[in-house]
A = this chain, B = another copy of it.
Amino acid sequence: MKRKAFAGLLLVPCLASPVFAQGVSPETKVIVDTLWVLITAMLVFFMNAGFALVESGLCRAKNAVNILAKNFIVFAASSLAFWAVGFGIMFGNGNDVMGMTGWLTMGADNSPATGDAYQGVFSSLNWTGVPLYAKFFFQLVFAGTAATIVSGAVAERIKFQSFVVFSFILVGLIYAVGGHWAWGGGWLSKVGFADFAGSTVVHSIGGWAALAGVIVLGPRIGKYMPDGTTRPIPGHNMTSATLGCLILWLGWFGFNPGSTMAADPSAIALIALNTNMAAAAGCLSATVAAWLALGKPDLSMILNGTLAGLVAITAGCNAVSVGSSVIIGAIAGVLVVYAVLFFDKVKIDDPVGALSVHLVNGMFGTLAVGLFATEGGLFLGGGFAKTQSQLIGIAAVGVAVFAMSLIAWFLIKMVMGIRVSAEEELEGLDLGEHGMEAYAGFVQAHQEMRTEIV
């Protein structure tokens, strides 16, 4: 694509000069690539704020401190875990299953050398010519994203310390192993599995880990009534949720275009646009679907539809046309509405819709690469091979991550407990876990009710 777009410029004479022939000197390329990688990494970092706001906003005020604290500390935990062991397991030289070098993000490395010129222990990242610490920083913010997805699904009943411990395990081990398979030179990368920016590697892994946690935890008290009905538990702050979703949309312009890890003009322009169009289509299709299914355009569905579109385009944002992005996003927006309804029907209590957004659409987005890819996509006459690779990846990562997460959650439950007491859950985790309120001075309805009862 780049060659075609540059065709006009390449007609300029003076091809004798090696600099001119290349157009961009090696040192200049390192500079612009590093700028791009660092700036997009910062945008992805900011997604922590987005997740914190969406997840706390869609839950109750009495648990807001707890959710904010979880979403905040999870990136600190991710930073240490990924620095110490996760990065080595994911990208260090090793075998088909995991990396075995690069602990503490150290070891031989002559980045920004690339390709055959690269000599070091992180060979799986030798395709990008930026300094090692830029590579690590970019991958770290991705790892943090996977961990923060879990927070929303297990919200309003998990013990604070149990969540922190699981975050260390997820980022240091589970995510790193799954990521090694697809991005670190592991076996999945050898069967043609394509997941450009992480519909599976980041979002589905986060989603599977969350699903395991939700199952071990059980639903919140009062969510599913004895008579079989489901009680809606409205979020306490739609301003938070909306701002958070816009921050996530912004962050995705780092997430997807930054995954080039190179300032390739045509590629990053296409990816940025595909990302945006899928989000827009997901937003509108979820609005319509919610309107039809629920009678009104529910704002939380509008927001989750947008996120669904973003998750779904993540795997194929570099490989599909703008038109396909619109279609993928539109499907994702409908999927998320019905997924939310489905999970409630089977009594899997996910307070913020994280499973519907990240797990369901992470899988769909990964599959969509097989269907819509300009080169090799089933719907574009490419046959079934690409789709098959995608299905293998979806299934393998799903089984492995779900199993590892289930074991981790059970171990945590046995060793330190996983769920707060029923009394603490009713009173709110903010007082029980943190000894404070999120909105001191504001009168809450449940407080009034308590006063009335007393």
| Residue ranges of A at the interface with B (Cβ–Cβ < 8 Å) | 5-9, 12, 14, 17-20, 22-28, 30-32, 34-36, 38-39, 41-43, 45-46, 48-49, 52-53, 56-57, 60-62, 64-65, 68-69, 71-73, 75-77, 79-80, 83, 104-105, 110-113, 117-119, 130-134, 136-137, 140, 160, 234-240, 242-243, 245-247, 249-250, 253, 257, 263, 265-266, 268-270, 272-273, 276-277, 279-281, 283-284, 287, 294-300, 302-303, 306, 322-323, 326, 433-446, 448
Asked if A72 and B245 sit within 8 Å, CB to CB, the answer is yes
Stoichiometry, copies per complex: 3
Taking a contact as CB atoms closer than 8 A, the residue among B38, B236, B438, B441 that contacts A440 in the complex is B236
Residues of B within 8 A of A302 (CB): 69, 72-73
A5 to B290, CA, bound (A): 54
| A-B contact list, 22 entries, CB within 8 Å | A6-B27, A6-B30, A8-B119, A9-B112, A17-B19, A19-B20, A31-B32, A32-B32, A34-B265, A34-B269, A41-B272, A69-B297, A72-B306, A79-B279, A137-B269, A237-B239, A238-B439, A299-B434, A439-B442, A442-B442, A442-B443, A443-B445
Residues of B within 8 A of A43 (CB): 42
How far in angstroms is the closest Cβ of chain B from A213?
20
A162 to B174, CA, bound (A): 48
Asked if A72 and B303 sit within 8 Å, CB to CB, the answer is yes
Asked if B238 and A239 sit within 8 Å, CB to CB, the answer is no
Asked if B38 and A35 sit within 8 Å, CB to CB, the answer is no
A433 to B287, CA, bound (A): 12
A8 to B234, CA, bound (A): 57
How far in angstroms is the closest Cβ of chain B from A366?
24
Asked if B436 and A298 sit within 8 Å, CB to CB, the answer is yes
Taking a contact as CB atoms closer than 8 A, the residue among B12, B297, B444 that contacts A434 in the complex is B297
| Interface core residue of A23, A104, A118 (most chain B CB under 10 Å) | A23
| Interface core residue of A27, A130, A239, A443 (most chain B CB under 10 Å) | A239
A132 to B269, CA, bound (A): 8
Knowing that A42-B43, A68-B299 touch, tell me 11 more A-B residue pairs with CB under 8 angstroms.
Answer: A5-B112, A24-B25, A65-B238, A72-B246, A238-B436, A239-B240, A239-B439, A296-B433, A296-B434, A297-B433, A439-B442
Residues of B within 8 A of A263 (CB): 31, 34-35
A111 to B91, CA, bound (A): 37
Given A20-B18, A75-B280, A238-B64: A80 touches B326 (CB 8 Å cut-off): yes
How far in angstroms is the closest Cβ of chain B from A356?
18
A62 to B238, CA, bound (A): 12
| Interface core residue of A43, A71, A434 (most chain B CB under 10 Å) | A434
Asked if B303 and A440 sit within 8 Å, CB to CB, the answer is no
Residues of B within 8 A of A22 (CB): 27
A268 to B61, CA, bound (A): 40
Taking a contact as CB atoms closer than 8 A, the residue among B6, B140, B277, B443 that contacts A448 in the complex is B443
Kindly list the 3 A-B residue pairs having the minimum CB-CB distance in the complex, ordered from nearest. A23-B27, A8-B113, A79-B280
A268 to B31, CA, bound (A): 10
How far in angstroms is the closest Cβ of chain B from A105?
7
Residues of B within 8 A of A434 (CB): 296-299
A36 to B28, CA, bound (A): 14
Residues of B within 8 A of A118 (CB): 8
Asked if A9 and B113 sit within 8 Å, CB to CB, the answer is yes
Given A24-B31, A35-B35, A433-B296: A137 touches B273 (CB 8 Å cut-off): yes
Given A9-B113, A440-B236: A435 touches B295 (CB 8 Å cut-off): yes
Closest to A119 in B: B8
Taking a contact as CB atoms closer than 8 A, the residue among B76, B140, B295 that contacts A284 in the complex is B76
Asked if B8 and A60 sit within 8 Å, CB to CB, the answer is no
Asked if B32 and A9 sit within 8 Å, CB to CB, the answer is no
Residues of B within 8 A of A445 (CB): 441-443
Residues of B within 8 A of A79 (CB): 276-277, 279-280
Asked if B53 and A239 sit within 8 Å, CB to CB, the answer is yes
Closest to A446 in B: B441
A30 to B12, CA, bound (A): 14
Asked if A8 and B110 sit within 8 Å, CB to CB, the answer is yes
A266 to B48, CA, bound (A): 25
